[in-house]
Amino acid sequence: MSESPDERFRTLPEPVRLEDTIATHPASEPADPDEGRNAEQDLIKGIGI
């Protein structure tokens, strides 16, 4: 190491912009809670409960 520990901490690193700290993810459509089934029809048929 060419620099002493004292020299290393004399200056702070470059600041990080707030825009560079935010991660964005593409939105996706939420899943179908009934998974394509008709809950009322299943209830009438006696399925599921």
What are the pLDDT digits (tens) for 17-34?
998 898 888 888 888 877
Amino acid of residue 25 = H
8 pLDDT more than 80: no
Phi/psi for 15 (5° steps) reads: -70, 155
pLDDT at 49: 56
pLDDT at 15: 92
pLDDT band at 37 (very low <50, low <70, confident <90, very high): confident
Residue 27 lies in domain: 5-47
The Cα 12–Cα 14 span in angstroms is 7
Is 0.75 topped by the overall pTM?
A: no
Q: Which residues contact 4 (CB under 8 A, 6 or more apart)?
A: none
Q: Is the dihedral of CA 38, 42, 44, 45 positive or negative?
A: positive
Count of structural domains, the chain: 1
Kindly state the tokens that stand for 46: 């006696």
